[in-house]
Chain A
Amino acid sequence: MIIAPLLESRADFGETSGPRGSVVLMTRIRFARNLARHAFPGWAKDAQRREVFATSLAAVAGLKEMKKGISAEMSDLDELERQILFERHLISRELMGMKTGSGFVISRDQSCAVMINEEDHLRIQVIKAGFHFKKAWNVLNGIDTSLEETLDYAFSPTLGFLTACPTNVGTAMRASAMMHLPALVIGGQMEKVVRAVNQLGIAVRGLFGEGSDATGSIFQISNQTTLGEGEEEILKRLTAVLNSVIEQENNTRARLLETEPAKLFDKIGRAFGILRNAYVLSSSEAMNMLSLVRLGVDLKMLPVELRSTVDRLFIECQPGHVQYAARKPIETAERDSFRARLLRAEFEKVGTPDFNPRNDDNEPTATN
Chain B
Amino acid sequence: MGESLKCDLCGKPATVHLTQIVNNQIHKLDLCEECAAAKGVTDPTGFSLADLLVNKPAAAETPASQLVCEHCGFTQADFKKLGRLGCPACYERFSPILEPVLANMHKGVTHLGKVPARSIERRTLLDRIARLERELTDAVRSERYEDAARLRDEITAMKEAMSGRPAVS
Q: Do A and B come from one complex?
A: yes
Q: Which partner residue on chain A sits nearest B122 by CB separation?
A: A152
A55 to chain B, nearest CB (A): 5
Decide yes or no whether B45 CB sits under 8 A from chain A.
Answer: no
**Within 8 Å of chain B (Cβ to Cβ): is A251?**
no
Chain B residues near A364 (CB-CB < 8 A):
none
Is B106 in contact with A155, judged by CB distance below 8 angstroms? no
In the complex, whether B116 has a CB less than 8 A from a CB of chain A is yes
Is A164's CB under 8 angstroms from B108's CB?
A: no
CB within 8 Å for A228 and B120 given contacts A39-B87, A156-B91, A169-B102: no
Which residues of A110-163 have CB atoms within 8 Å of chain B's CB atoms? Answer: 119, 141, 144-145, 148-162
**Cα-based distance from A40 to B84 in the complex (angstroms):** 9
Query: CB distance A43 to B74 under 8 Å?
Result: yes
B111 close to chain A: CB less than 8 A: yes
User: Do residues B108 and A229 form an inter-chain contact, with CB atoms below 8 A?
Assistant: yes
Tell me the A218-236 residues at the B interface (CB within 8 Å). 225-231, 233
CA distance A148 to B92 in the complex (A): 23
Which chain A residue has the least Cβ–Cβ distance from B165? A149
The answer for the CA separation of A156 and B83 in the assembled complex, in Å, is 20
A155 to B123, CA, bound (A): 11
Q: Which of B87, B105, B117, B169 contacts A43 (CB under 8 A)?
A: B87
A77 at interface by CB-CB < 8 Å: no
Residues of A within 8 A of B120 (CB): 155
B96 to chain A: closest CB distance in Å? 14
A-B pair number, CB within 8 angstroms: 136
- Judge whether A153 and B116 touch: CB under 8 Å: yes
The docked-state distance in angstroms from the alpha carbon of A145 to that of B166 is 14
Across the interface, B169 reaches (CB within 8 A) one of A35, A228, A231, namely A35
Interchain CA distance A150-B87 in the complex, whole Å:
20
Instruction: Count A-side interface residues using an 8 Å CB cutoff.
Output: 47
Q: Does A59 contact B (CB under 8 A)?
A: yes
For residues 154 through 169 of chain B, which have their beta carbon under 8 Å from a beta carbon of chain A? 165-169
- B75 → chain A closest CB, angstroms: 11
Please state if A170 and B106 are interface contacts (CB–CB under 8 Å).
Answer: yes
Q: Which of B101-152 contact A (CB under 8 A)?
A: 101-102, 105-120, 122-123
Could you say which residues of chain A place their CB within 8 Å of the CB of B1? none
* B86 x A157 contact (CB < 8 A): no
- Asked, given contacts A155-B119, A226-B106, A228-B106, whether A166 binds B85 with beta carbons under 8 Å apart, the answer is yes
CB–CB A165/B83 < 8 A: yes
Docked CA distance A152–B71 (Å):
17
Among B88, B92, B101, B106, contact of A34 (Cβ-Cβ < 8 Å) = B88
Contact at A160–B113, with CB atoms within 8 Å?
yes
Complex contact A162–B169 (CB within 8 A): no
In the complex, A150 Cα to B84 Cα: how many Å? 26
CA distance A166 to B79 in the complex (A): 10
B127 to chain A, nearest CB (A): 13
Q: Are A225 and B106 in contact (CB under 8 A)?
A: yes
Out of A34, A149, A164, A201, name the residue touching B118 (CB < 8 Å).
A149
Q: Is B72 an interface residue (CB 8 A)?
A: yes
Residue contact A230 to B112, C-beta cutoff 8 Å = yes
Complex: how many Å from CA A305 to CA B89?
Answer: 53
The answer to whether B21 has its CB under 8 Å from any CB of chain A is: no
Asked whether, in the complex, the Cβ of A167 is within 8 Å of the Cβ of B105, the reply is yes
A152→B114 contact, CB < 8 A: no
Is the CB–CB distance between A38 and B119 below 8 Å?
no
A283 within 8 A of B: no
**Candidate in B72, B98, B167 with the most chain A CB atoms within 10 angstroms:** B72
Least distance between B70 CB and chain A CB atoms (Å): 13
Q: Chain A residues near B86 (CB, 8 Å)?
A: 39-40, 43
Q: B82 interface residue, CB < 8 Å from A?
A: yes
Q: Decide: A38 and B169 in contact? CB cutoff 8 A.
A: yes
Contact A148 B113 (CB under 8 A): no
Q: How many angstroms between the C-alpha atoms of A141 and B118 in the bound complex?
A: 14
- B residues in contact with A148, CB < 8 Å: 116-119
Q: Are B87 and A201 in contact (CB under 8 A)?
A: no
CB of A36 within 8 A of CB of B113, answer: no
A226 (CB) vs chain B CBs: closest residue: B106
Residues of A close to B111: CB separation below 8 A:
156-161, 170-171, 227-228
**A173 is an interface residue with CB less than 8 A from chain B:** yes
- Do A119 and B84 touch across chains, with their CB atoms under 8 A apart? yes
Tell me if A37 counts as interface (CB < 8 A to partner B): yes
A154 to B89, CA, bound (A): 9
**Apart from A159-B111, A166-B105, A228-B111, what are 14 other A-B pairs with CB-CB below 8 Å?**
A34-B88, A37-B87, A43-B87, A150-B166, A151-B168, A152-B123, A152-B167, A160-B111, A161-B114, A162-B88, A167-B105, A169-B102, A227-B110, A230-B114
Residues of chain B having any CB pair with chain A under 8 Å: 71-72, 74, 78, 82-89, 91-92, 98, 101-102, 105-120, 122-123, 165-169
Chain A to chain B contacts (Cβ below 8 Å), 5 pairs: A40-B84, A43-B84, A150-B166, A159-B102, A227-B111
8 closest A-B pairs by CB: A228-B108, A160-B111, A152-B169, A154-B88, A228-B107, A227-B106, A171-B113, A43-B86
